[in-house]
């Protein structure tokens, strides 16, 4: 991981100069210059701290205020949390079923929902990798060959996993790389592909509408490494229910 580039990307995502960023974070301008140039190496927690400040302490990107407001409103409607299982592994708990389709999922609704994430970024806690949400995610997530192959419970699981994407990125582990061999991705995945493992859980209700348990699912977060040097979430694939695990039984 290139910490110097990561810190520069974090600052530039706010649209601020080094001086402005220094005033908001309390980090001296000279220190920022040294970190971004790679002359000094900051403590490992610094990128994570900066990402937190940017997202939750009011350091907003100047050119995306309208979209930030949309995301803030959306987050207010999300009912998502992170817990640990008996082995200490993280699980994203998605407490509300947003996409219910009795016979099939309306993927257009999922696509529209995902559009409010575009331009956001989330940090993977295990690696400090910064993962961006690009304009291609809504269409790919809702209309990929993998998505079109899903039926029943797996389709419902992927649709509703959309509400937990920020947390699913943050708890991802097991980074795996492969080279890009597809001509159509020679630019947007010029530097290859990464897969990370993540987990989420969805509620199961009985006939009376009472919560019975949560079913746990494994998912692979497919990330492209673009020619601009940034990581972008491309799709969430390989969604499988963990048959030996559930919460609340």
Domain end position, chosen among 42, 59, 76: 59
Task: Give the burial class of 63: count Cβ atoms within 10 A of its Cβ; 0-12 exposed, 13-18 middle, 19 or more buried.
Answer: exposed
Residue 247: strand, helix, or coil:
strand
* Tokens read off for 245: 């695990």
pLDDT tens-digit map of 11-23: 888 888 999 888 8
Question: What's residue 74's pLDDT?
Answer: 46
Question: What's residue 46's pLDDT?
Answer: 82
Beta carbons of 96 and 156 less than 8 angstroms apart: no
* Tokens read off for 221: 């977060």
Q: Which domain holds residue 18?
A: 1-59
Residues 72 and 22 in one domain: no
Residue 151: strand, helix, or coil:
coil
Domain end position, chosen among 59, 78, 98: 59
CA distance 41 to 208: 57
CA distance 134 to 131: 9
Residues 21 and 118 in one domain: no
Name which of 56, 80, 77 is nearest 68 in CA terms. 56
| E strand intervals along 95-210 | 121-123, 130-133, 173-178, 193-205
Residues 43 and 132 in one domain: no
CA distance 40 to 61: 26
Split into its structural domains, the chain has a count of: 2
Residues 68 and 142 in one domain: yes
Residues 51 and 107 in one domain: no
End-to-end CA distance of the chain: 41
Residue 24, domain CATH:
1.10.260.40
Domain end position, chosen among 59, 75, 93: 59
Question: What's residue 59's pLDDT?
Answer: 52
Question: What's residue 57's pLDDT?
Answer: 55
Residues 118 and 28 in one domain: no
Residues 137 and 209 in one domain: yes
Q: What is the mean pLDDT of residues 215-239?
A: 97
pLDDT tens-digit map of 78-132: 789 899 888 889 999 998 899 987 678 999 999 999 999 999 999 999 999 999 9
pLDDT tens-digit map of 31-79: 899 999 989 888 777 887 788 777 655 554 444 444 444 444 444 467 8
Residues 53 and 78 in one domain: no
Residues 100 and 118 in one domain: yes
Question: What's residue 68's pLDDT?
Answer: 47
CA distance 229 to 245: 38
Residues 6 and 92 in one domain: no
Residues 168 and 218 in one domain: yes
Question: What's residue 58's pLDDT?
Answer: 52
* Buried residues in 44-54 as b, exposed as e (16+ CB within 10 A): eebbbebbebb
Residues 130 and 69 in one domain: yes
pLDDT tens-digit map of 173-218: 999 999 999 999 999 999 999 999 999 999 988 887 778 888 999 9
Question: What's residue 55's pLDDT?
Answer: 67
* Tokens read off for 200: 């989420």
Question: What's residue 208's pLDDT?
Answer: 78
């Amino acid at each position: 991981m290139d910490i110097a580039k990561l810190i520069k990307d974090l600052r530039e995502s706010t649209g601020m100069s080094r001086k402005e960023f220094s005033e908001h974070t309390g980090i001296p301008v000279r220190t920022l210059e040294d970190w971004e140039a790679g002359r000094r190496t900051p403590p490992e927690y610094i990128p994570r701290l900066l990402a937190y400040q940017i997202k939750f302490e009011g350091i907003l990107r100047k050119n995306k205020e309208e979209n930030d407001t949309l995301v803030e409103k959306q987050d207010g409607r999300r009912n998502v949390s992170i817990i640990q299982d008996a082995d200490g592994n993280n699980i994203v708990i998605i407490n509300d079923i947003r996409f219910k389709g009795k016979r099939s999922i309306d993927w257009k609704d999922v696509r529209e929902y995902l559009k409010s994430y575009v331009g956001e970024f989330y940090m993977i806690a295990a690696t400090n990798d910064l993962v961006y949400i690009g304009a291609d995610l809504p269409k790919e997530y809702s209309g990929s060959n993998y998505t079109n192959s899903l039926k029943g419970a797996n389709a419902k699981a992927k649709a509703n996993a959309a509400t937990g994407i920020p947390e699913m990125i943050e708890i991802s582990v097991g980074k795996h790389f492969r080279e890009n061999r597809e001509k159509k991705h020679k630019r947007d995945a010029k530097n290859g592909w990464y897969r990370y493992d993540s987990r989420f859980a969805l509620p199961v209700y009985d006939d009376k509408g009472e919560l019975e348990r949560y079913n746990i699912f494994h998912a692979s977060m497919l990330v492209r490494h673009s020619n601009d040097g940034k990581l972008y979430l491309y799709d969430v694939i390989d969604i499988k229910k963990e048959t030996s695990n559930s919460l609340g039984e």
